[in-house]
Amino acid sequence: MNFNEFESKSAQEILQWVIGEYGQRAGLASSFGMEDMVLIDILAKLDGEITLFTLDTGRLHEETYEVMERARSKYGITIQTYFPDKGDAECLLRDKGFFSFRESVDNRKECCAIRKIEPLNRALAGLDAWVTGLRREQNVTRTDVQKVAEDSDRPSMVKINPLADWSLDKMEEYIKTNNVPINALHKKNFPSIGCAPCTRSVEPGQDLRSGRWWWENPEHKECGLHRRPE
């Protein structure tokens, strides 16, 4: 398959191709941020369905749960929810406390591995493709994101990023025009929303992901779900 041919296609065209090619064997990994809500809205207007899942880390904002419920109600969707392994999470908190992730990059990645990566691996088991809301302008770690590519961590899986070339202005215009429900934190200067202890608002003009793990350098600001190809 020539993935380069997808670079000229719209998000709608790519998602309709995903539905036809994979159906329920494709999953949208949704954190219910602005990008994921746009993808859900686009999918709702197309023929056919794919799987929708989310990773509940156990430390999400209340506003995130609220927008999940609004999406479930508005679009009539089923949300498959994956939680961290109970034993691993209990051991981490018992041995290292509740904020070990702020002590070092390694500790933060350990927490992300337990709360995000292991549940993601379970969610992707049995799927052939996964759809994300990655955009190139979000961070220095995402500037080379392709719209469709082989997953560097899972060679048998295709990773699809239909909004890769969308700007923030385009996102906001789509949301306004289509009355897409969004997380209330977006209106409080939270452009990127993750776990509550690891997310804060940003100042105008700051990098879109500067509110995530703000104590780390920009090149480290990935949880491991989306690693850059070597």
- Establish if 155 belongs to a structural domain: yes
223 is catalytic: yes
Task: Decide if 200 is inside a domain.
Answer: no
Residue 215, in any domain of the structure:
no
Gap between the Cα atoms of 137 and 144, Å rounded? 10
Mean pLDDT for 224-228 is 50
pLDDT on residue 92:
97
Domain that holds residue 65: 3-185
How confident is the model over 146-176, as pLDDT tens digits? 999 998 888 789 999 999 999 999 999 999 9
Total number of domains constituting the chain: 1
- The reported pLDDT for the residue numbered 224 is 47
Q: What is the pLDDT of residue 39?
A: 98
* DSSP-derived 3-state class of residue 156: strand
Residue 152 inside a domain? The answer is yes
User: Is residue 26 scored above 80 in pLDDT?
Assistant: yes
Q: Which of 111, 195, 198, 223 is catalytic?
A: 223
Judge whether residue 227 has pLDDT over 70.
no
Give the burial class of 28: count Cβ atoms within 10 A of its Cβ; 0-12 exposed, 13-18 middle, 19 or more buried.
buried
Mean pLDDT, residues 32-51 taken together: 96
Q: What is the dihedral of CA 60, 63, 67, 70, to 10 degrees?
A: 130
Residue 191 has pLDDT above 90, yes or no: no
pLDDT in tens, 202-218: 888 777 777 888 778 76
Phi–psi pair at 81, nearest 5 degrees: -110, 130
What's the rounded Cα separation, in Å, for the pair 80 and 126?
A: 14
Is the pLDDT assigned to residue 229 strictly greater than 50? no
In a domain, 31, yes or no: yes
Residue 227 maps to a domain: no
CATH value at residue 14: 3.40.50.620
pLDDT digits (tens, 9 = 90+) for 100-137: 999 998 999 999 999 999 999 999 998 999 999 999 98
Give the pLDDT confidence score for residue 207 in this predicted structure. 75
Residue 77 lies in a domain: yes
Strand partners, 159: 130, 149
**The pLDDT of residue 222:** 52
pLDDT at position 230: 41
- Whether residue 169 is contained in a domain is answered as yes
User: Which pair of tokens denotes residue 11?
Assistant: 């998000």
pLDDT of residue 1 exceeding 90: no
pLDDT at res. 152: 81
Tens digits of residue pLDDT in 53-76:
999 999 999 999 999 999 999 999
Alpha-carbon distance 30 to 17, whole Å? 19
Q: How far is CA 103 from CA 98, 106, 222, 228, in A?
A: 11, 8, 16, 24
